[in-house]
Amino acid sequence: MGLDARGIIAIIEIIIYIPILCMGIFLSFRHGFARNAGWIFLVILALIRLIGGVSHILSENNPGNSTERTMYVILEAAGLAPLLSATLGFLRTVSQYSLDNTLVMTRGLAVLTLVSTIGLVLTIYGGTKMASASSEDSLNSGSDLRHAGIILFIVVWVGCALVTFYVWRQKDLILRYRRRLLNAITFTLPFLAVRVAYGVLSSFAPFPVSFQNGQEVAHNGDSGLAKFSSTTSSWGAYFVMSVLMEYIAVSIYAIVGVITPLSKDQPAYDGGNVPLTSQSNYGNVEAYGVGGSRTPVYAPSYEPRYGSGK
Per-residue pLDDT of the chain (310 residues; tens, 9 = 90+): 578 888 899 999 999 999 999 999 999 999 888 878 899 999 999 999 999 999 888 888 877 666 777 788 788 888 899 999 999 999 999 998 889 889 999 999 999 999 999 999 999 998 888 877 777 788 888 889 999 999 999 999 999 999 999 999 999 999 999 999 999 999 999 999 999 999 999 888 877 666 666 666 666 655 577 778 776 667 888 899 999 999 999 999 999 999 999 888 876 443 344 343 333 333 333 333 444 444 444 444 445 444 444 4
Contact 230, 205 (CB under 8 A): yes
Q: What is the CA radius of gyration of the chain?
A: 24
* 244 vs 158: CA distance, rounded Å: 21
What is the reported pLDDT for 274? Answer: 38
CATH 1.20.1070 residue spans of the chain: 5-266
pTM over 0.75: yes
Query: Pairing state of beta strands 209-212 and 215-218?
Result: antiparallel
* 156 vs 87: CA distance, rounded Å: 10
Contact 48, 75 (CB under 8 A): yes
**Within 10 Å of residue 214's Cβ, how many Cβ atoms?**
8
Task: Give me the long-range contacts of 59-67 (CB less than 8 A, separation at least 24).
Answer: 60/1, 60/3, 60/4, 60/6, 60/7, 61/1, 61/3, 66/131
**CATH number attached to the domain at 5-266:** 1.20.1070
Residue 159: CB partners within 8 Å, gap ≥ 6?
A: 108, 111, 112, 115
Looking at the DSSP bridge assignments, the partners of residue 216 are 211
What is the reported pLDDT for 305? Answer: 47
Contact 231, 68 (CB under 8 A): no
Residue 157: CB partners within 8 Å, gap ≥ 6?
A: 84, 189, 192, 193, 196
DSSP state of 175: -
Instruction: Count Cβ neighbours within 10 Å for each residue of 14-23 and write b for 16 or more, e otherwise.
Output: bebbeebbeb
